[in-house]
């Protein structure tokens, strides 16, 4: 596995981990009420879900790529459109999403539940990983799958560190509670850009084979 594919997979895991959602809001809520330790315990439980959904997404990517480049490009196009849809939805949403209340006494159990039961986890992870690895399709196979999973987990953990660092800062907590929609809109724009990148890479791959 090349260093560029490794870094792309780490980046995909990182982006997936730091994307605002119910778990993201729960970490900030726990950190505000009980400190970074509670947030870290929640993320420890949530890691199980990230590994499951991320592993399924990578397995799907490898399996599709093994079938042929045309199907992989089609997956890239579909995932690119999905990312653009998610980004546009975040940018255009009105009002706030509110907090994500979670019991402070059992953050590990809550994190595990959040991670394994999030219905959007699989399509989002599939879309993000596909968008960032589509240009490395020639390298993706079952023998690279363990390395890809390891890179993804590294990305998850790096994302967790960033989340915990910012969640523990008083000024960030105050800003997040007051301007949560700004955070979501910035992430929405990022999703749109990655979606466009996925469409561009898939289009170039199709053009190269034509």
Cβ-in-10-Å burial (0-12, 13-18, 19+) of 44 comes to middle
Among 93, 118, 111, residue whose Cα is nearest residue 26:
111
| 179-202: b (≥16 Cβ within 10 Å) or e | ebbebbbebbebbbebbebbbebb
Q: What is the pLDDT of residue 70?
A: 76
Rounded to the nearest 10 degrees, the angle between the axes of helix 22-34 and helix 145-167 is 40
Q: How confident is the model at residue 180 (pLDDT cuts 50, 70, 90)?
A: low
Is the model more confident about 32 or about 39?
39
Structure-token pair, residue 10:
């780490």
DSSP 157: H
User: Among 100-114, 176-190, 191-205, where is mean pLDDT lowest?
Assistant: 100-114
CA 64/CA 54 separation, integer angstroms: 15
Q: Give pLDDT, residue 91.
A: 82
The whole-angstrom separation of Cα 202 and Cα 72 is: 8
pTM over 0.85: no
By the 10 Å C-beta count (0-12 exposed, 13-18 middle, 19+ buried), 105 is classed as: exposed
Which CATH number is associated with domain 3-209? Answer: 1.20.1250
Residue 184: pLDDT band with limits 50, 70, 90 = low
Residues 137 and 79 sit within 8 Å (Cβ to Cβ): no
pLDDT mean across residues, the chain: 79
Name the residue ranges covered by the structural domains of the chain: 3-209
Per the model's pLDDT, the better-predicted residue between 141 and 179 turns out to be 141
Report whether 152 contacts 14 (CB < 8 A): no
Spatial distance between the Cα atoms of 182 and 170, rounded to a whole number of angstroms: 18
End-to-end Cα distance, the chain: 27
Asked if residues 167 and 23 have their Cβ atoms less than 8 Å apart, the reply is no
Q: Would you say residue 25 has pLDDT above 50?
A: yes
Give residue 186's pLDDT band: very low, low, confident or very high (50, 70, 90). confident
Q: Give the list of residues 6+ apart from residue 31 with CB closer than 8 angstroms, or none.
A: 38, 39, 164, 167, 168, 173
Q: Among 26-35, 112-121, 178-187, name the most confident range.
A: 26-35
How do residues 78-135 score in pLDDT, each as one tens digit? 877 877 887 788 788 775 444 444 444 577 887 787 777 665 677 778 888 887 887 8
Residue 119: per-residue pLDDT = 56
Predicted confidence at residue 2, as pLDDT, reads: 85
Tell me the pLDDT band of 137, cut-offs 50, 70 and 90. confident
> In 28-169, at which residue ranges do the beta strands (DSSP E only) sit?
none
Under 8 Å between Cβ of 135 and 15: no
């Amino acid at each position: 596995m090349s260093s560029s594919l490794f870094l792309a997979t780490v980046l995909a895991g990182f982006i997936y981990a730091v994307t605002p959602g119910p778990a993201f809001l729960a970490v900030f809520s726990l950190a505000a009420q009980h400190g970074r330790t509670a947030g870290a315990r929640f993320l420890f439980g949530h890691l199980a879900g990230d590994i499951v959904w991320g592993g399924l997404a990578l397995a799907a990517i490898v399996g599709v790529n093994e079938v042929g480049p045309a199907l992989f490009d089609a997956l890239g196009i579909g995932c690119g459109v999905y990312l653009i849809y998610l980004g546009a939805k975040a940018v255009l949403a009105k009002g706030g999403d509110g907090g994500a209340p979670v019991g402070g006494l059992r953050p590990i159990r809550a994190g595990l539940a959040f991670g394994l039961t999030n219905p959007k986890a699989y399509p989002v992870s599939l879309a993000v990983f596909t968008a960032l690895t589509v240009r490395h399709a020639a390298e993706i196979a079952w023998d690279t799958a363990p390395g890809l999973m390891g890179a993804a987990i590294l990305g998850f953990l790096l994302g967790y560190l960033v989340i915990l660092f910012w969640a523990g800062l008083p000024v960030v907590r105050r800003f997040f509670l007051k301007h949560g929609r700004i955070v979501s809109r910035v992430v929405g724009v990022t999703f749109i850009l990655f979606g466009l990148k996925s469409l561009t890479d898939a289009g170039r791959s199709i053009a190269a084979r034509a």
